[in-house]
Amino acid sequence: MNEDFDNDDDLFTGSEHTPLRTDAFEKTAEEKSEIIQHHFHQIMETLGLDMTDDSLKDSPRRVAKMYVNEIFGGLLPENKPGISTFSNKYKYRQMLVEKDITVYSFCEHHFLPIIGRAHVAYISNGDVIGLSKINRIVDYYAKRPQVQERLTMQIVNALKAALNTRDVACIIDAKHLCVNCRGIKDTASSTITAELSGIFRTNPITRQEFLHYVGSHAKLD
């Protein structure tokens, strides 16, 4: 059984990896929270808010805790889900699809939410994974400042490593609030990204079967 799906090198190198400094993990979560609290207090003061007001005075602490432990919790290595795989004893050889996995992330350009759904599939190469672990992988990589393309690739690469197979696919359909609530303010549009690996990329029939299961009629080359 595979008890882990990658190492922390995935955070530092390559186009699909989160761009972090090499000293990113030297401070504890508590130390990071204290620093963010201080600076967010200054941001609020700079905006002209009265930081003695009962409704506002604890906001920097709440924001700092939320940033470090919740919405950017995927930047804490200790939050990486432990992934155990199991032998495919029942010899299931078709694709497994988990669709409509909730995605909550934040774009790294404006730090506004990305909200959508991920559809993930794999074909066993001898190992299988608990269904909830797929959700946990999606959630772990979503809880970072992200671009949707990178997030899609990270999910696929993590599952490929965990399952020791190339046959993995992921589609994400999400709304970006940096588009919906600022700039062009287009509230109707969403963004679709896909990462197809192994047979999902090379076999058109397998690819179309996956698209059929997740309700997408797009033709992905």
The structure's pTM equals: 0.91
Rounded to whole angstroms, how far apart are CA atoms 45 and 37? 12
Q: 108: burial class by Cβ within 10 Å (0-12, 13-18, 19+)?
A: middle
End-to-end CA distance of the chain: 34
Rounded to whole angstroms, how far apart are CA atoms 116 and 110? 17
Q: Which residues are catalytic?
A: 107-110, 148, 176, 178
Q: Tens of pLDDT along 131-188? A: 999 999 999 999 999 999 999 999 999 999 999 999 999 999 999 999 999 999 999 9
Rounded to 10°, the helix 148-163/131-142 angle is 140
Structure tokens at 166: 């190339």
Rounded to whole angstroms, how far apart are CA atoms 88 and 107? 37
